[in-house]
Amino acid sequence: MSTLLEIKSSVLRQVQVCPSFRRRTEEEPASSSTEVQEPAAGAWKPGDGVEFFAQMRLILKKGEGRQGLPCPEVLLRSSSPAPTEPVDPSRGLRALTQEEVEMLYEEALYTVLYRAGTMGPDQVDDQEVLLSYLQQVFGTSPEEHAEAMERVKKAKAPTYALKVSVMRAKNLLAKDPNGFSDPYCMLGILPASGTLREPGPHKEQRFSFRKGSKRGGPLPAKCIQVTEVKSSTLNPVWKEHFLFEIEDVSTDQLHLDIWDHDDDVSLVEACRKLNEVIGLKGMSRYFKQIVKSARANGTAGPTEDHTDDFLGCLNIPIREVPVAGEDRWFKLEPRSSASRVQGDCQLVLKLITTQRDTSMSQRGRSGFLSYLLLLSRLLQFEHRAEEPNSSSWRGELSGPAATVLCLHGAQSNLSTLQLAVLHWQVSSRHHQTRTLDYGYLLGLLEDMQAHWEEAASLPQEQEEGLADSFSAFSEFGLRLLRQLRDYFPATNSTAVYRLELLLKCLGKLQLFQPSFEICPFETELNMDIAASLKRGNREWFDKLLNSQSPREQPGPQRLAGLVKLTDTVYEDLQSCYGIYASLFHSIIKIDFFTLTFRQLEHLVAEEAWVLTEELSPKMTLEVASGLFELYLTLADIQRFWSSIPGRDSRSLALAGIHAPFLPAVKLWLQVLRDQAKWRLQGAVDVDTLEPMDSSSKHSSSAATASLCFSHMQELWARLAWPDPAQAQGLGTQLSQDLCEAALFYTELLRKKVDTQPGAAGEAVSEPLCVVLNDVELLRKAADQALRGLVWPEGAPGLEGVLPRPLLSCMQALDEDLQREARTVTAHLTSKMVGDIRKYVQHISLSPDSIQNEEAMAPLLKYLDEKLALLNASLVKENLSRVLEALWELLLQAILQALGANRDVSADFYGRFHFTLEALVNFFHAEGQGLPLESLRDGSYKRLEEELRLHQCSTRECIEQYYLDKLKQRSLEHNRFGRLSVRCHYEAAEQRLAVEVLHAADLLPLDANGLSDPFVIVELGPPHLFPLVRSQRTQVKSRTLHPVYDELFYFSVPAEACRRRGACVLFTVMDHDWLSTNDFAGEAALGLGSIGGVARPQVGGSARAGQPVTLHLRRPRAQVRSALRMLEGRNNKEAQEFVKRLKELEKYMEADP
């Protein structure tokens, strides 16, 4: 026996939990069995719904990209070059005449030939290279170049001057007792005669303005300048500017002394007076005169008490000043090797020309204008060397070009701001004739902004030129913004970056606007930008409308174009929100998205209202399909606006647009219902009722049905009808259509499987297994689809709650599909009924000499083989259904076997009891099969009870009969009325007292609607109380609520009352004078729980204890099972008990 108890179904142990149902899209042809897949289009016949659902899929796919707000990463799909921007040669600077070109060429040659200063490492110092480059730029012939050179060489050399800005000093020596100094600077130009010294054996001495010098030669008084004295500081800041005329660039030097001022007189004033003296001889005499003059105006006192202290000096050769000028810290030097100095001084030096013998200078052309014309010429030449269609040139100049411009800018004494202004004017104009990189233009504006504090120094003519350049560029930029979608498409990352730089350029122009006395803009620039964007939006929409849905076309033809136009508008709004909006808002503070959305939404709504009004009287299927698709996009536009925080769609022009579309939507949903059936019909027609692939257990038609339902659910989600009442009607109809289609599909499957030829002797039909799996897959798909068909009910707090009509529809469909699954399961298992009965009969006919394990082995082997096939063919849910059906078949087969065998040995029933427990373990399969609660319920309880009773003695069966009556007490309440009694045991007299008090709500068993009830009181089982006779109350006539108050005594020992099944049985009868009495009901009360039996009675009256209300009932099947056991026994005790009970049954009415 132990061997058989270990037999488990190896198949059931392998049952795994299947993954949850998921819809497979048409783009995923191969996946697991729980996913669905649409069959190949080639298998469909024309007109079977495939074309309709293909169009529906396109509509749904269009909506997949409209979930939530767009992300820039999704929209920016291309990094190709940006579209070419429009250029206009006429928007550049004025073309020069031939004479002006020649004058400009001479100006450039003059600049190169008379250059002065030190070239930088990035500059070209080769004169021939520079001249050759200019010849190429101006395109002059060798002869013309030679003539120009000759004219330039004959001209006078320019007059040079040195601009010196004394900015500050730091870390000077402290010369005063307070730990500080009062520093000032004396600076001047040392001519060539003052710079040369012969080497000698004595200490090295440097020139100083305040000390005697043996050098000969006059020093003009105008060459000396003095700064202000800065009191009590070691880090003075002067920021004073001086201009010195240079006689010889190659030999002159700039000399600077820093002194600690100890007098109360102004050295500056003394210097100014002495600068009027001309012709002083000798350096020593000259500076002594300065000091003497200064002291004469000061306070009297010893001269040695007023001597200034030397803090350091600088000697800078003019020829070493860089061509571009320099801003540099110079380390202070001692005047002799014995001097002690420290610190640095910051100077800004620039070598310029004050007089130029050129034609342009002679004609009054300023250096500013000359530089502008020269820069324009060089820029055009340099840009031509780039790629012909290049829009990314950043104004990089070659070495010769940069050198020529640097020389001319320095010689013309152009400030940093003027140079920035010139480069912007020329480059912004050039950009309008040939596109440049906006990053380069932005850099020019930032450079100009960095030096804008010098704007007050710009002459009016130059400011007007700058204002004109701003106006021209802003006009050019506004024209581009009007055609934003053409030149800066949102899908092109390169173009979007150019747009960002353009907006930053326009934003910079706004910053300059308050600084102009002559304002270049008539209105605020951002107002002009907004106006250009609005105009551009209208032009773009009108162009789109004229190309896709011209108004002169008939309504049905316009409809298809308007659908495309609306889709294009939605995509454009996505681009506006995801790409453009952040740029315009962050850079120039314009809400571009709101501006564009409001404008385009109004235009689209206007077209939609007009078209729906025109098409409403002409509603056809084609028109309804087009209107349905148009509405979906219009609803997407509304949802797009509503999905943005703080936006309310009720203020839109599209608000209420759903109303005229309602007839079209209703018609389209009706067509959807019919087309769904056509598609399901076609799917079943080509279905072979075989698994789709090795990983699937359902057929192709189930996958198609699931996909069809999924499409219907997705479509409803996209429709999102806003009116709650109308949405309820549409949703209810769609849910009913879906349920109808599901049942239609199961009917098609049933007919299909009925036509399938079955294999002879095949107990497990593969087509039936596939159909069962198809029904289960359909049930899940339909449930998921129906749960998605929710609609707003208008009541608050109902989010996520299924509407009642939808819930009812779901429940009804689930019941129908569950019933269909049970029907298929019954059909599948019916082929196994004969085999199961045969193997159960084999167990029942096995002789007692055969072991139980051996007797039931064929049955277990058969079940194991069939369940292996079922497990391979069925999904888990269906395998559980089949297991439950097989379990019920087995129980019924065993019950039949027991009924067919009467008066057999106890071993017979013991074998079947062993078989039952073995089958429980087999079907449970250690938790992988059916749960024990399910296995041990229903028919199992009946079978287990019969087996137990068959193994009991006659008296045990009789006791079970009474125990079943006691268990039946609470099953029915108030149906047959109530009886109140009171019982107690009197131990002294060894008797049981039973008091019948009253009854209520008895059944009316007489024709007058009343009864004549009396109560029979008896003790049972009879073998426990063999000498006790039953007693009865008086008859109470014509009442349903009799009152008895009668007391009965039964002399019985307490030990008998405590026995198993001991009870007092009350039988209520209706007394009839002319016929047999009628049974009204019965009730049983266990004696083991009454007072005096369970515990001795302590004190109290003879009627101690509380009344007990018993609910009358009639014997149920559970009670009669013990009776059947007794009927099959031939002993006298059993037959007498059965005979007495059958006499009572004659008075009982059949159970309702």
Residues ≥6 apart with Cβ < 8 Å to 775:
746, 749, 817, 820, 821, 824
Average per-residue pLDDT in the chain? 81
Sheet holding 1063-1070, edge to edge: 1031-1032, 1013-1020, 1063-1070, 1078-1086
E strand segments, 580-633: none
Question: Does residue 39 register a pLDDT over 60?
Answer: no
Identity of residue 682: G
Report d(CA 833, CA 889) in Å as an integer. 7
pLDDT at 910: 80
Whether cis (ω within 30° of 0) applies to the bond prior to 792 is no
Whose structure tokens read 């502008």?
372
Over residues 18-31, mean pLDDT = 35
Q: What is the pLDDT of residue 36?
A: 34
Res. 76: pLDDT tops 90: no
Q: Is the pLDDT higher at 878 or at 956?
A: 878
Contact status, residue 528 vs residue 510, Cβ threshold 8 Å? no
Residue 230's pLDDT is 93
What's CA 793's distance to the chain center, in Å? 28
Model confidence at 844, pLDDT cuts 50, 70, 90, reads confident
pLDDT (tens digit per residue) in 593-607: 999 999 999 999 999
- In the chain, the N- to C-terminal Cα span, in Å, equals 46
Q: Does 619 score more than 80 pLDDT?
A: yes
Going by C-beta distance under 8 Å and a sequence separation of 6 or more, which residues neighbour residue 238?
166, 167, 168, 185, 227, 228, 230
User: Across residues 970-994, what is the average pLDDT?
Assistant: 84
- What average pLDDT does range 236-263 have in this prediction? 90
Query: How many whole angstroms separate alpha carbon 651 and alpha carbon 862?
Result: 73
Q: Does pLDDT of 302 surpass 70?
A: no
Residues 123 and 400: their CA atoms lie apart, in Å, by: 7
pLDDT tens across 453-497, in order? 776 778 888 888 888 899 899 999 999 999 999 999 988 888 899
SS3 assignment, position 54: helix
pLDDT of residue 327: 92
Of 992, 983, 1143, 1016, nearest to 1083 (Cα)?
1016
Is 176 exposed, middle or buried, given 0-12, 13-18 or 19+ CB atoms closer than 10 A? middle
CA–CA separation, 504 vs 790, rounded Å?
49
Q: Is residue 143 predicted with pLDDT exceeding 70?
A: yes
| φ/ψ of residue 435, rounded to 5 | -60, 135
DSSP designation for 308: P
Residue 266 CB contacts under 8 Å (≥ 6 apart), including other chains: 229, 294, 297
pLDDT bin (cut points 50, 70, 90) of residue 929 is: confident
Three-state secondary-structure class, residue 451? coil
| Mean pLDDT within 810-839 | 90
Helix axes 493-512, 525-548, angle to 10 degrees: 150
What is the structure's pLDDT at 1124? 65
Residue 775 pLDDT greater than 50, yes or no? yes
Q: What is the pLDDT of residue 1?
A: 34
How much of the chain is helix, strand and coil, in % rounded to 5? 55, 10, 35
Of 325, 516, 506, nearest to 410 by C-alpha is: 325
Torsion angles phi and psi, residue 931, rounded to 5: -70, 150
**Band of the pLDDT at 346, cuts 50, 70, 90?**
very high
Query: Residue 155 is encoded by which pair of tokens?
Result: 């001209």
At residue 1117, φ and ψ (nearest 5 deg) are: -60, -35
Q: Structure tokens of 893?
A: 């087969």
What's residue 217's pLDDT? 44
pLDDT at 961 over 60: yes
Helix (H, G, I), strand (E, B) or coil at 66: coil
Give me 61's structure tokens: 């796919």
- For residue 1091, what are the β-bridge partners? 984
pLDDT: which is higher, 588 or 963: 588
> 843 pLDDT band (50/70/90 cuts)?
confident
In the block, residue with structure tokens 């707000």:
69
Give the residue with greater pLDDT, 175 vs 345.
345
Distances (CA, A) of 354 to 225, 381, 513: 19, 29, 34
pLDDT at 1047: 94
Is-contact 123 406, C-beta < 8 A?
yes
Contact yes or no for 773/870 (Cβ under 8 A)? no
pLDDT digits (tens, 9 = 90+) for 510-554: 877 655 555 555 567 888 899 999 999 999 999 999 998 888 888
User: Does residue 709 carry a pLDDT above 60?
Assistant: yes
pLDDT value at 216 more than 50: no
Rounded Cα distance between 946 and 941, Å, is 9
Residues contacting 830, CB < 8 A, separation 6+: none
Higher pLDDT, 178 or 458: 178
pLDDT, residue 270, reads 54
Lowest mean pLDDT among 104-108, 160-164, 202-206, 567-571: 202-206
Query: Quick one: pLDDT at residue 651?
Result: 81
pTM over 0.85: no
CA 709 to chain centroid: 26
pLDDT of the residue at 280: 36
Banded model confidence at residue 776, pLDDT cuts 50, 70, 90: very high
Q: What is the mean pLDDT of residues 92-102?
A: 82
State percent of the chain over pLDDT 90: 33
Q: What is the pLDDT of residue 760?
A: 45
| Both tokens assigned to 995 | 């008091």
d(CA 984, CA 1103): 7
- Per-residue pLDDT tens over the stretch 469-478: 998 999 999 9
Q: What is the 3-state secondary structure (H, E, C) of 232-286?
A: CCCCCEEEEEEEEEECCCCCCEEEEEEEECCCCCCHHHHHHHHCCCCCCCCHHHH
| Model pLDDT, residue 77 | 58
For the four alpha carbons of 47, 49, 52 and 54, in that order, the dihedral sign comes to negative
708 pLDDT tier (thresholds 50, 70, 90): very high
Phi, psi of 817, rounded to the nearest 5 degrees: -70, -35
Cβ-in-10-Å burial (0-12, 13-18, 19+) of 1017 comes to buried
Confidence of residue 773 (pLDDT cuts 50, 70, 90): very high
400 neighbors 129 (Cβ within 8 angstroms): yes
The answer to whether residue 348 scores a pLDDT higher than 80 is yes
Q: Beta partners for 245? A: 161
In tens, the pLDDT along 386-445 reads 655 567 788 888 899 999 999 999 989 888 888 999 999 999 999 888 888 999 999 999
How many angstroms separate the Cα of 829 from the Cα of each of 7, 763, 818, 884? 23, 8, 16, 10
Written as six digits, the tokens of 117 are 């200063």
Q: Is 15 within 8 Å of 879 (Cβ atoms)?
A: yes
